[in-house]
Amino acid sequence: MKIRNMNEVNIKGQRVLIRCDLNVPIQNGIIQSDARILASLPTIELALRKKAKVIVMSHLGQPKNECYEKKYSLFPIFEYLKKKINYTKVYFSNDYSNIIPIKPGEMLVLENVRFNSGELKNDPVLSKKYSNLCDIFIMDAFGSAHRKQASTYGIGKFVNIACAGLLLISEITMLKKALKNPQRPMVSIVGGSKVSTKFNVLKKLSNISDTLIVGGGIANTFLAIDYNIGKSLHEPEFILKAKKLRDNYKNIVIPIDSRIGKNFSNIEPSIIRLPSNIKKNEEIMDFGDETIKKIVKIISKAKTIIWNGPVGVFEFPNFRKGTEKIAKAIANNSEFSIAGGGDTLSVIDMFCIKNKISYISTGGGAFLEFIEGKKLPAIDMLEKNFSQQILNNIFN
């Protein structure tokens, strides 16, 4: 089914409500990474150039009980946008029921949607209130597209026109490019702590990739099939499922050596061991050198790369090498690469390789669910809205 692109809609002079993903790290009122804001700007600025009355909303963090908490206020993001978009008036409002009237080509930033009662539960009353703010709704928050909430899904039932923003369209296009007809060999790298949260993704990627590389706690669970891995982070209850996956697909690459430590500490020294030699008081926290060499060689020959998650405790200098070498190998590969997930973005920033990745997704959960093959609720909402508009045009 089709979804509408914002370029297919006349938004001039219209009240346009854009659901962005401005969920960025903020410490003491200072934005630590503006990656998601920058990714949202093309849609916002296109709407401003087309002289729409632009209203922006987003979530930030996880405030308790849908109540105001200063540390989760979007006010610092408003201040950032005000400086970035200095060619027009930019306002801020924390009152959804009585918003400031704005002129065409001006912008209003609304307070965190998660301060609104009913947001997380996709409350229809709140969804209707959101729809009353606009003539046209633009969904551009790919990072929240997997959530069935009032501002990402429920609103679509009540607005006349809902369409996709530039970022959402770009995300869908690039992910389809990587998944539908990838250039081969296709290599997928999946790190992170838990097999349980990514098992279906691992299964899907095992099926479509030429090689699937697993790292972090996920790799530890695979290692635990055959070895005693001491106190390493893993999921014992998923060992049997991991074994079935490994036995069914011969393309899964598991570490052949690891960097281990006795304490989970920033200053803990690393020792390289074979998985068969790990002691009870030791834990795996990174790939070993032989594993790194093997994987870098695989990546160098790849034509398509999908990357989600670090392969070790990259925050600790002594357990960073695996993630660093793999990240730089992906960056040095001139073919198509796509990366996604919060920790993945942190790695990209840490090693300054942003310009060497073909496409960096703003999604974490949405990125994984799209790869898994699930239809994201936001896309479902846009398809239904478009179909309803066709029916309305036929019968009116």
Residues in binding site: 21-23, 36, 114, 147, 198, 315, 341-344
Question: What does 346-360 look like in DSSP terms, one character per residue?
Answer: HHHHHTT-GGGSSEE
Report the b/e string of 223-247 with b at 16+ CB within 10 A.
bbbebebbebbbbeebbebbeebbe
Catalytic site includes residue 156 = no
- Which candidate in 194, 241, 328, 374 is catalytic? 194
Catalytic site includes residue 36 = yes
Binding residues for substrate: 21-23, 36, 114, 147
Catalytic site includes residue 19 = no
Under DSSP, the state recorded for 240 is H
- Number of C-beta neighbours around residue 297 at 10 A: 10
**Rounded Cα distance, 226 and 218, in Å:** 14
- Residue 63, token pair as written in the block: 């405030």
- Which candidate in 15, 36, 50, 53 is catalytic? 36
Binding residues for ATP: 198, 315, 341-344
Catalytic site includes residue 340 = no
4: Cα separation from own chain's centroid: 22
- Residue 103, token pair as written in the block: 């002129």
Please tell me the total number of residues recorded for the chain in this structure: 396
Q: Where are the beta strands (DSSP E) in the chain?
A: 15-19, 26-27, 30-31, 53-57, 90-93, 107-110, 136-139, 161-164, 186-190, 211-214, 252-253, 258-261, 271-273, 283-287, 304-308, 336-339, 359-360
Question: Which are the contacts of 375, defined by CB distance < 8 A and separation ≥ 6?
Answer: none
Instruction: Enumerate the H helices of 61-123 as residue ranges.
Output: 75-84
Asked whether 197 and 369 are in contact (CB, 8 A), the reply is no
- Catalogue the active-site residues: 36, 194, 342, 365
